[in-house]
Chain A
Amino acid sequence: MNAKVTLMRSAAETALIDRFPAVRARLPGLPVERELAHAKIAASGLPTRRVEAWKYTDLRSAMREAAPLADRPNAAETALALKGHSPLAGRGVVTVSFVNGHHVGADGVVPSGVSVVSLAEALTVGHPLLSRIGTLQLASGDVAMSLNTAFMTDGAIIHVARHVDVAGPIALRFVTAGPTAVATAARVLMVVEEGAKVTLVESHEGQGALAHQPNTVVEIIAADDAAVHHVRVGLNSAGAVALSTLTADLGARSSLTSVNVALTGAVTRHQVFARFSGGDARAQINGATLLSGAQHADSTLVVEHAAEPGGESRELFRTIIDDEAAGVFQGKIIVQPHAQKTDGRMASNAVLLSDGAAMYNKPELEIFADDVACAHGATCGALDDELLFYLMSRGISKAEAEALMIESFVGASIDFIDDEPIRDILHGLVKDWLQARAARLDAGKVV
């Protein structure tokens, strides 16, 4: 017997679906794309664990209420939101800030060969790159993408001209703030032309415990021989249900290094969709996640090798889980029939620091070509006793030895970042996390 199960729409689903007609008129541009995205959400609703791609992160139950879509902040609200400490402050040659999904200005100097325009402005003037938003088919069925496309309020279009080696990092600062929880939808497109080199760093920030619902999408299109370094730091508000997506469309011989450091937020999901559209591209996609309390953090990635030679993809995700927190890694490598010589290797390693900690690993390979080398590995365990003994035999206390081991464990992911000051900042964030853990241990909250 086949029974079609139709779930009742949750309050959040109803609110999201009903919201669209109400706010559509004040959302800038791309009406057709928005309508299509909205239709997808109306048809599917928010994903539950019955949806394979969201098996371990039940968005429908995590997002019980749909927070209202944030309005453009006024000058005072903007100033207040930007006042907080930004982890990557001063690292960008130019820092483009977004408050509640709205472009609120840029600090620094846009390097030569680079142009940055707000998405709202791009939509008003009919920017030539608008047609390249949302073009990665690999990500088109994703709910977070659809939600962002339907409701995107603002964002930026960044263009890096051919063969430009951008002098320093371009920084994007996404701040979610306000007296009550809000939903945001910022969208950034970065087109890196042939042979250009650029570093893009993102910080996602939110103070306090409010259950903000940021949903950010960054799309990177790298032309042939382009090289992109990407760093993302997730420091959302403690109660946040935060979605973020990185898409990458990689041309021939181009390269992408992406490191995501996920630290705060109640329920967070960072997704990467990377397509090797040109032959012989390379990607190193990493994650370092540190969780405590009742946090839930999901790293989901899909890498598609779709050209010959298939290129080289490497993924290294390291997760540290304390208390009752839960980590999720879903990684899928797809090798299309003609993508011969693909070399893909994916690893997810988790360390559970407490009995209540949980990790869900789901590595997948879908290989349709016959001349490929692909591997995946997922491990989950406690800290290595042998190494702990080695460190303690040198006089280092158990607590300090564990901290060194945790730093070393997630450091393996972080150390792929070339930019030393940024790497140091990320190591510093890990140290902050370890200090907070030490304080919890001292307070006897963790046994």
Chain B
Amino acid sequence: MLEIRNLHVKIADEDKVILNGLNLKVRKGEIAAIMGPNGSGKSTLSYVIAGKQDYEVTAGEILLDGVDILTMEPDERAAAGLFLAFQYPMEIPGVATMTFLKAAMNAQRKQRGEVELTTPEFIRRVNTAADLLGIPKDMLRRPLNVGFSGGEKKRMEILQMTLLEPKMSIMDETDSGLDIDALKIVAEGVNARRDPEHAFLVITHYQRLLDYIKPDTVHVMSRGQIVKTGGPELALELEANGYRDYQSAA
């Protein structure tokens, strides 16, 4: 599903190298977790996959279903089936959440050459997903993320993921700032989409999230590279020993 080969990335207009020959494969149907200390390049990786402008890819490839997405704009990547749940979702004052959701859903459909959703169908889909995630209706009428708590913002990210139906979802520290109830709801949102057709890359600092979203694979990231790959037991080991063993490995 997602294959990253020898990815080298630096901050645009600066010499600072963040990703340093990173290799990663996420198979169809797989939930892969990336764990790593602060500053290891986890968030940069998620931004580069999604197409943020602030970075310069100096070498390497990112393939989504065999297609190199590096030349695509962020909106084209989204239409190709990629979704990034942000660590810090943005607020958009003055734009009702419903308006935003409709714009996003129809923009992707348009890019894929599909017809726009009818309003009743759109509302039905939003209501179904919102009920599943425990999102009250009045939140959907409010401007997107404005005045929402950290947990509400994350739930809104999961709602977007559910409605946009990506094949490849990246969760960038979705667990940060969440209490345990919100964490469970977010995890349920991911688990509800877990099937042989969808893949997830779950970026997290702590093992806690992985109690609720059981990964198939765990990768350890340090200094812009994947330095170790293993099964779920690797996350437990990290929780017990910390990242000390990997800080100097890269």
Contact = CB atoms under 8 A, between A and B. Distances in A.
A391 B164 CA distance: 13
Contact of B107 (A386, A390, A397, A410): A397
A401 B144 CA distance: 14
Contact of B78 (A392, A410, A412): A392
A289 to B, nearest CB: 15
B100 A395 contact: no
B115 interface: no
Nearest to A415: B94
A395 B78 contact: yes
Contacts of B111: 395, 397
B103 interface: yes
A404 B84 contact: no
Given A389-B53, A389-B74, A390-B86, A395 B93 contact: no
Contacts of A386: 90
Contacts of B105: 395
A26 interface: no
Contacts of B75: 392-398, 401
A398 B94 CA distance: 18
B107 A400 contact: yes
B180 interface: no
Contacts of A407: 94-95
A410 B92 CA distance: 12
B94 A408 contact: yes
Nearest to A410: B94
Interface string B166-193: 0000000000000000000000000000
Given A398-B73, A400-B107, A393 B78 contact: yes
A408 B143 CA distance: 9
Interface hub of A387, A394, A397, A412 (most chain B Cβ within 10 A): A394
A393 B107 contact: no
B93 A408 contact: yes
A396 B95 contact: no
B104 A395 contact: yes
B125 interface: no
A241 B27 CA distance: 65
B160 interface: yes
Contacts of A389: 50-53, 74
Given A389-B74, A408-B95, A394 B90 contact: no
Interface residues of A, number: 25
Contact of A392 (B74, B93, B100): B74
B193 to A, nearest CB: 17
A392 B51 contact: yes
A442 interface: no
A387 B95 contact: no
A234 to B, nearest CB: 20
Interface in B55-86: 73-75, 77-79, 83-84, 86
A398 B74 CA distance: 9
A355 interface: no
Interface hub of B51, B74, B78, B93 (most chain A Cβ within 10 A): B74
B53 A404 contact: no
B94 A395 contact: no
A394 B160 contact: yes
Contacts of A394: 75, 78, 100, 104, 107-108, 160, 164
A390 B104 CA distance: 11
Interface in B29-59: 50-54
B89 interface: yes
Given A389-B52, A394-B75, A409-B94, 10 more contacts: A389-B74, A391-B92, A391-B104, A393-B78, A395-B111, A396-B75, A396-B103, A404-B95, A408-B95, A411-B94
20 contacts: A387-B90, A387-B92, A389-B50, A390-B86, A392-B74, A392-B75, A392-B78, A393-B50, A393-B74, A393-B75, A394-B164, A395-B75, A396-B104, A398-B73, A400-B103, A408-B93, A408-B95, A410-B94, A411-B95, A414-B94
Ranked nearest first, the 4 interchain pairs of A and B with the lowest CB-CB distance are A411-B94, A395-B78, A395-B108, A392-B74
